[in-house]
Amino acid sequence: MRRVFSGVKPTGHLTLGNYLGAMRRWAAVDQHQSDALFCVVDLHALTVDHDPARVRRLSRQSATLLLASGLDPELCTVFVQSHVDEHARLSYVLECVATDGEMRRMIQYKEKSVREQRRGGSVRLSLLTYPVLMAADILAYGADEVPVGDDQAQHVELTRDLAARFNQRYGHTFVVPRATHPAVAARVMNLQDPLSKMGKSDDTGPGIVYLLDEPDVVRKKIMRAVTDSGREVVYDREARPGPANLLEILAACSGGNPEALSGAYESYGALKRDTAEAVIELLRPVQERHKALCADPGFVEEVLRDGAERARGMARPTVDAAYRAIGL
């Protein structure tokens, strides 16, 4: 059976971008059609200035939201990265295969290191090596597919390169995985700045819809989304990024096609109203399940304990094989 691995970073509250770009498919498709593992990648939350208590709280909240999004522990494995030592163990070995130049070319590293410096902070070494840890997350499980938003395409590409290089140098050890992206909304943009990704870690701005936002808050954020002075609603990601983002969000919620949908609207006001209502409906069941799960914290605890045990059992043989292959 096909193996699938993916994860979310507990660096902020999960967003509509995380949901449409990744989580929704995990629950709707991947857990039914493959042997799937979904992980709260908490080690990745330590790559920038962090508050330990907040990371711990967000890890728990992210895991709860993964379950609320429809992941069923009977169908897939849900766990927290730091509960399974194999990730860090394999990461070091892969650092001995990756190069410094390759790491410095990563777009997210370039963007985030500049941001850290602007904030007056120093750049943690782990920010540079984080894509190697991500490669370890994926390769430890022999994943064939990695369902992610398209901001992660470059990191999965690096994972493929490292797997192939390791196999070529030290003998076949890893499955070379491939990224899969949703057909629409593979990169949901910030409603106030449609040239930037809607990223949970960036800000708590009005341009980000969080999965736990109340209907009124969602409505307000979408009604205030930045568009442009154009008179017609057309789908053009390059020239009209604001309206294009709304059309993609609406299409992703309603199962339509953004280009075809654009013809149905004569004004941005109507487009925003329908988009807001569609998002509210999309989030409603997730929020209801989240509420029920919060009333039963012992259940989440148990899922994560079982998940870590299962994950460990799957990762250990591959990581042991990598250690043997490289000469340890």
Q: Annotated active-site positions, please?
A: 112, 197, 200
**Residue closest to 282 by CA, chosen among 74, 120, 61, 68:** 68
Closest CA to 50 of 124, 136, 109, 106: 124
Sign of the torsion formed by the C-alpha atoms of 199, 204, 209 and 213: positive
Residue 25 C-beta: closest distance to ligand ADP, Å:
10
Other CB atoms within a 10 A radius of the CB of residue 127 amount to: 20
**Left, alpha or beta for 79 (phi > 0: left; psi -120 to 50: alpha)?**
beta
- Residue 149 near ligand ADP by CB under 6 A: yes
E strands in 9-106: 35-40, 77-80
Q: Which stretch binds ligand ADP (CB under 6 A): 15-23, 32-40, 214-222, 270-278?
A: 15-23
Q: State yes or no: 200 annotated in a binding site.
A: yes
Q: Tell the smallest beta-carbon distance from residue 58 to ligand ADP (Å).
A: 10
Compute the distance between CA of residue 258 and CA of residue 275 in angstroms, rounded to an integer. 12
What is the Cα gyration radius of the chain?
20
71 or 322: CB nearest ligand ADP: 71
One character per residue 238-267, x = contact with ligand ADP (rule: CB under 6 A): ------------------------------
Positions in 196-225 near ligand ADP (CB under 6 A): 197-201
Is 11 labeled as ligand-binding?
yes
9 forms part of the interface with ligand ADP (CB under 6 A)? yes
Q: Give min distance, CB of 320 to ligand ADP, in A.
A: 28
Binding-site member from 8, 71, 84, 311 for ligand ADP (CB under 6 A): 8
Cα–Cα dist 76/26, whole Å: 9
SS3 62: helix
The DSSP H or E segment spanning 302 is helix 297-326
Mark the segment that binds ligand ADP (CB under 6 A) among 10-18, 112-120, 169-177, 229-237: 10-18
217 annotated to bind ligand? no
Instruction: HSE, CB side, 13 Å, CA atoms: give it for residue 301.
Output: 5
Q: Using the minimum distance from each CB to ligand ADP, give the nearer residue, 30 or 86.
A: 30
| DSSP state letter for 187 | S
Residue 37 is a binding residue for ligand ADP (CB under 6 A): no
**Which residue is at the shortest CB distance from ligand ADP?**
21
- Piece in contact with ligand ADP (CB under 6 A), picked from 68-76, 118-126, 180-188, 232-240: 180-188
In whole angstroms, what is the distance from residue 50 CA to residue 310 CA? 29
Least distance from ligand ADP to the Cβ atom of residue 32, Å = 19
Is 221 one of the annotated binding-site residues?
no
Q: Is 17 annotated as a binding residue?
A: yes
> Minimal distance in Å, beta carbon 317 to ligand ADP?
26
Provide the phi-psi class of 327: left if phi over 0, else alpha when psi is between -120 and 50, else beta.
left
Annotated binding site for L-tryptophan: 137
Going by the annotation, the residues of the binding site are 9-11, 17-18, 137, 149-151, 188, 197-201
